[in-house]
Amino acid sequence: MPKKAPAKTAAPRLPDTRARLLERYAHVADSITTLFFPFAEVVIHDLADQTVAYLSNNLSKREIGDDSALEDIEETTRNKLLGPYEKVNWDGRRMRCVSTALFDDDGRAAGVMCINLNIAAFEDMQATLDLFLRGAGVIAQPEELFKDDWQERINTFLHGWLRERQVALNSLTREHRRELVEALHAEGAFKGKSSANYVAKVLGMGRATVYKHLREMKADAA
């Protein structure tokens, strides 16, 4: 007799409410974790039995069917959004979270979606950057070494001028540039070798225009 094929065990059917919950929101959970991978986890809780119905990018080591252990369900469903709040993950790392209510066709809360972001990873990055920026300790510029650094003096004056007027360097008008050349001239900025060429490059002007402004100022002073 021919052997019978092994019997297949059908997957248990989800209740209609859970099936609709996942059909509507599982892809939303996956979209969030894909965008913020690998730092975000999204959990969908089924309020019918208060268990975990879906996990996307599992960071919390929970499993489908685990007890939701949700707190403030009434507040979440009433306000539709709870958070952001913080909690500690299994590995001791801090998570920043929001919970949002998921509703059925009749406007009843059928589930809760929790978005959990691993902010500890960003805290580690910040600590590394802080350490790098502190370095071995920054000392003041040696006066003798930089006493003739006219580029440094031009940069300092230029950005002070911009801050006072709340103007960005890349949004200077023709009039702004003319005023800056005049102000730099008054500060003695053009005494350095090639300083006019440097100012022209920084301000996005032609060298001929800078020299033209300088000649006009000399003529007015004569």
Q: Is the pLDDT of residue 98 over 60?
A: yes
Count of C-beta atoms within a 10 Å radius of residue 176: 16
Q: Where are the domains of the chain?
A: 16-124, 143-221
Q: What is the pLDDT of residue 33?
A: 94
Q: What is the pLDDT of residue 44?
A: 93
DSSP designation for 171: G
Q: Is the pLDDT of residue 89 over 50?
A: yes
Q: Is the pLDDT of residue 155 over 80?
A: yes
Listed residue (99, 95, 106) closest to 74, CA to CA = 99
Q: What is the pLDDT of residue 36?
A: 93
Q: What is the pLDDT of residue 42?
A: 95
Given the structure tokens 């001791």, which residue do they identify? Answer: 92
DSSP 3-state assignment of 53? strand
Q: Is the pLDDT of residue 207 over 90?
A: no
Least confident of 25-29, 108-112, 189-193: 189-193
Q: How confident is the model at residue 54 (pLDDT cuts 50, 70, 90)?
A: very high
Rounded mean pLDDT of 167-183? 87
CATH code: domain 16-124 is 3.30.450.20
Q: Is the pLDDT of residue 145 over 80?
A: no
Q: What is the pLDDT of residue 37?
A: 93
Q: How confident is the model at residue 72 (pLDDT cuts 50, 70, 90)?
A: low
Extended beta strands in 7-158, E state: 40-46, 51-56, 81-88, 94-103, 109-118
Q: Long-range contacts for 161-164 (Cβ within 8 Å, ≥24 apart)?
A: none
